[in-house]
Amino acid sequence: MAMATALLILLFVAPAVHAKDITVGGNSGWDTGFNYVNWAATQTFSVGDRLVFTYGGSHSVDLVSKSDYDTCATSNVMASYSDGNTTITLNSTGSIYFLCPKSGHCGQGMKLAILVTASNTPSTTTSSPPPPKSPTTNTATNTTSPPPPSGATGSFYNLNILVVLASIVLAPALVVMG
């Protein structure tokens, strides 16, 4: 009976293993002078993943609506974080918007828009282009993320095979054990 319980736990816990910690901005963290549009275009965001914001005391993180994201408004913040090391678990699919509410930071591009998908589904990011480099330059960018990295997909596939094989091997043993 203990073996059956262990198998059931393995089957239910295995999908949670695929969640990953994603450090926003990579080695640059959450800071001004970084292009979060380009960074997000190289990432995939799935339910269960955790966004990790690392930042100094001159920054914070606000969860906002799309309209507040588009206008860099901070009057209707849904959640605010200022501990310097914020981890946010992505619990549902859909678009999520973040920005730094410190004066001028959002306008300088310190904002992030992501599309969270179900596990193993490629995502696209939606975000405004980075601010122009000069007042006379106006660029528009349409970015989409590439398919998930083969390493992540391969790991998920390998774990699924492992669970199926374990089920095949352990099922007869469970039947014999009664």
Quick: pLDDT tens for 54-86: 999 999 999 999 999 999 999 999 999 999 999
pLDDT for the residue numbered 18: 76
Quick: pLDDT tens for 34-54: 999 999 999 999 999 999 999
Cβ atoms of 64 and 74 within 8 Å: the answer is: yes
Query: Which residues sit opposite 116 in a β-bridge?
Result: 45, 94
pLDDT at residue 138 greater than cutoff 60: no
Q: Report the distance separating Cα 149 and Cα 128, nearest Å.
A: 24
Cβ atoms of 30 and 100 within 8 Å: the answer is: yes
pLDDT for the residue numbered 49: 97
> Nearest 10 degrees: CA dihedral of 29, 81, 61, 49?
60
Report which of residues 170 and 35 the model is more confident about.
Answer: 35
Query: What is the rounded average pLDDT for all residues in the chain?
Result: 75
pTM, rounded to two decimals: 0.60
17-146: which CATH number, 2.60.40.3880, 2.60.40.420, 3.30.450.40, 2.60.40.1180? 2.60.40.420
Q: Report the distance separating Cα 137 and Cα 160, nearest Å.
A: 49
- pLDDT tier at 21, thresholds 50, 70, 90: very high
Q: Which of 29-33, 116-120, 150-154 has maximum average pLDDT?
A: 29-33
Give the residue-averaged pLDDT of 131-143: 37
Please give the backbone phi and psi of residue 96, each rounded to the nearest 5 degrees, phi first. Answer: -135, 140
Give the residue-averaged pLDDT of 92-108: 97
Give the torsion sign (CA, 32, 33, 37, 43). negative
Give the torsion sign (CA, 105, 108, 112, 113). positive
Cβ atoms of 3 and 169 within 8 Å: the answer is: no
pLDDT at residue 114 greater than cutoff 60: yes
Q: Which of 79, 142, 90, 147 is nearest to 116 (CA)?
A: 90
pLDDT for the residue numbered 172: 63
